[in-house]
Homo-oligomer: A and B are copies of this chain.
Amino acid sequence: AQSSVTLFGVVDAAVSGYSNKAEDRNVATLLNPAYINRGSVTTSRTVLSNSGYNSSRLGFRGTEDLGGGLAASFWLEAPITNDDGAVGISSFIRRSTVSLSGGFGEIRLGRDYTPTFWNDAVFDPFGTNGVGTNLIATANGLVTPGSASAGFQANPNYVRAANSIGYILPPNLGGFYGQVQYALHEQVKYDPGTTTPVAPLNSSRTGGYVGGRVGYSNNALDIAVAYGSSTVGDNYFLGSTTYLQTANIGASYDFGPVKLFGEYGRSKLARDTVTVNLLPEPTADGYLLGATVPIGPGLVRMSYAQLKLDTHVRNPLLAQAPAPGAQKFAVGYVHNLSKRTALYATYAYLKDENGLDLTVGGPAMATALNGVPLSGKTSRGYDIGVRHAF
């Protein structure tokens, strides 16, 4: 049986440092002329980290030729924390699928990346690893999956969706590619509906996801657009449902001496109600520009990204606060010792605006000083490490 299984993985370790400064944004005003700004607090940390260039993992995969162009395959991939050894193959939450494929394309069942995640990873020179991680992904809660971030409700399906059924187009379409994915919410349905439990109110359809992505690539150009909707809350009795909708477009063009990257993404917390709804539907808009320059066995990487939130307050009596946002710049170098082994160094700088607390990694922003709330100002970090694949 062994011949049908491929064992593969990545062990990526780096010395990483982070320094995150939060500040008191209040100043003396006409109403409070005696206010003395409390200054700032910096939290910093130096660690041995994993996954600074590629995500550390260990996996098992295989394909069986069923004849007639048909194939069955499986893919089980675990995240591992090789810096401290704490997380082994305790789950296959990176990917856990079984597939049937043929001339018609591929049907894939299990836990897999969402279509909407790919543009973040593919069209950023730093992907979603290390201090250089795609700012749009960070704003959508990538760092702590499932946690609220950037004023948004948690989106447990931002990167991957469990219990999903996917369809992927076959590879021979003249450069066109595409996929759709539907993930079951697996919630219990009650009949008569009035027996639906009152608490927790917001779970009877929560967890589902539907999305798709189409693109075109030839030798130099790669461009793709994706859209997906993740159900993050609902209330059976009020008849309301809340979605996190993600749309993005990304492209890269390889000029040879330099390869350029760009991405634009928008996330929206949308509400579907049976009554007039005055609750806000906040949005986050982000764009990113990047470039890579090959130098012998090495690769210089750089990116710049900007993010802006719009709280979309609909109540005319409430003042519209200045829009929170962030900017990020990252630069790095990868030195390939072989196809499997590389040394790398990355530096990243992030500036928070109007109340955001995003970081490039490391400890959370300090939240208070002498009872005064603080909010993010800057975050800096570096990774110096080695990536070994097998």
Contacts and interface: CB of A to CB of B under 8 A. Distances in A.
B58 A58 contact: no
Interface string A14-52: 010000000000000000000000000111111110000
Contacts of A165: 15, 48
Interface in A367-388: 369, 385-386, 388
A188 B17 CA distance: 11
A11 interface: yes
B80 A85 contact: no
Task: Choose among A8, A90, A95, A390 the residue with the greatest number of B CB atoms under 10 Å from its CB.
Answer: A390
Contacts of A188: 43-45, 363
Interface residues of A, number: 80
Contact of A83 (B43, B162, B189, B337): B162
Contacts of A70: 337
Contacts of A153: none
Chain A at the B interface: SS class? strand
Contacts of A162: 48, 83-86
B83 A4 contact: no
Contacts of A164: 48
B7 A390 contact: no
Q: How many copies does the complex hold?
A: 3
B189 A44 contact: yes
Interface string A81-110: 111111111111111111010000000011
A147 interface: no
Interface in A295-336: none
A145 to B, nearest CB: 13
A74 interface: yes
Given A1-B389, A44-B191, 5 more contacts: A58-B60, A62-B390, A64-B390, A76-B82, A83-B96
